[in-house]
Amino acid sequence: MPFPSSATATPIQDNPDTLLRQRARRVVPGGMWGHMNVASLPEGYPQFYRSAKGCRLTDVSGREYIDFMCSFGPIILGHHDPEIDDAAIAQGRRGDTMNGPGECLVELAELLVETIPHADWATFSKNGTDATTTCVTIARAATRRRKILVARGSYHGAVPWCTPSLVGVTAEDRAHIIYYDYNDLESLTSAVEQAKGDLAAILATAYRHDVRRAQEMPTLDFLRTMRQICDDTGAALILDDVRAGFRLHLGGSWEVYGVRPDLSAWSKAIANGYPLAAVTGRDAFREAAASIYITGSFWCSAVPMAAAIATIRKLHRSDAAAKLERAGDRFRNGLQKQAARLGLSLQQTGPSQMPMLLFEDDAEFRLGGLFVAEALANGVFLHPWHNMFLSLAHSDAEIDLALEGTARALEAVARIA
Ligand code: PMP
């Protein structure tokens, strides 16, 4: 199996990526938005891509990488899984954005209700932000209360009530958001007290996967306390499973803890890269979900729904979570051995399916930045401060090949550490 070709003979100023960035800067504000702007990443990150297949990604300069970002989560089976693409293409030939949904909408809702134990119904939209915002609106409609408890530092999307940047956001946009610290019962109960009788929902991500810090699994105490508070007050427990959904458990990321939410937000991996989001919920919230006004011009498009049906069926057949975990373990163990041999201390946190890799005492990401830049130069696409993602296309052979690249990258880190 060939090692990904990372070398490029093109001088940097004539590099297709550099040229596209120059053109983008003239016609796209800031050159690119949000986390797709690579300005905050170490040198060497491509911004534009030509193609992707399996766990390989090719940038516009023709450099190929073994991809450990999986498009920030959507790619769970591998890029362009033929089975999913065939289902999408077949639906696309029949119709995509029509005057209303295709029959696949009902089939997909049925499949989600069968797959997810807490789900009695489902609604669909496009992005994770749509799904989290819909959950918040349903919770407020059901309870006729206003306050939403959100963990400090958790990401739930990029609209005024939740975006991490306060630029262009007013205090009023967040007037009814109260913050608590993930896994911290004291701060949770004090936030509940602050909400007084006006608590509409507690919102939490599957586990603590905030950027730039070690990942943290939820404690059972934390999950059970949130459940209890919601049971006692009638508020909705909302699981934001947008990032972790289907990688840890097909029934929702808290299934292994035996704690079930009232509402869940899904997106990213549910259609293996096709644009789709979903909200699932319990019967108690069905009427409220039917009462709110939500829609979007593309929310009924049939192609992503056909892709989601094929994706979920394939995940059911594949023992996906266990396989992704094994692949992640293989990668992590390999990295750990390489680092130990060089006397480097790695901090590897969170579930193996979504590994986060930080260096000890590296708050400014000096070592992390060099490591990922060297990994890129050796054909491995990693991230210095965001959790990464495994897919079912990460075979043992691909991971071992990636580890050859990380070995060279870690040697470069050891020279400056
Ligand atoms: N919630 C979580 C936990 C996420 O990770 C994200 C996206 N990174 C979102 C919500 C928002 O999803 P989207 O970018 O599709 O709007």
Which residue among 267, 274, 383, 387 is best mutated to probe the pocket of ligand 1, counting the most ligand atoms within 8 A of its Cβ?
267
Query: Edge to edge, what strands does the sheet with 56-59 contain?
Result: 49-53, 56-59, 64-67, 380-381
Dihedral, CA of residue 114, residue 325, residue 69 and residue 273, to nearest 10: -20
| Distance, CA of 243 to CA of 351 (rounded, Å) | 12
Ligand 1 centroid distance, CA of 62 (Å): 29
What pTM was estimated for this model as a whole? 0.97
Residue 1 is predicted with a pLDDT of 45
Ligand 1 centroid distance, CA of 330 (Å): 27
pLDDT band at 354, cuts 50/70/90?
Answer: very high
403 has a pLDDT exceeding 60: yes
Which residue among 135, 162, 242, 276 is best mutated to probe the pocket of ligand 1, counting the most ligand atoms within 8 A of its Cβ?
242
Residue 310 is predicted with a pLDDT of 99
Q: What is the mean pLDDT of residues 54-71?
A: 98
Q: What is the mean pLDDT of residues 282-298?
A: 98
Ligand 1 centroid distance, CA of 242 (Å): 6
Ligand 1 centroid distance, CA of 70 (Å): 14
pLDDT band at 113, cuts 50/70/90?
Answer: very high
Ligand 1 centroid distance, CA of 341 (Å): 37
Q: What is the mean pLDDT of residues 192-221?
A: 98
**Ligand 1: residues whose CB is within 6 Å?**
127-129, 132, 155-157, 205, 240, 242-243, 267
Residue 12 is predicted with a pLDDT of 74
Q: What is the mean pLDDT of residues 366-370?
A: 97
Residue 4 is predicted with a pLDDT of 54
Residue 3 is predicted with a pLDDT of 54
2 has a pLDDT exceeding 70: no
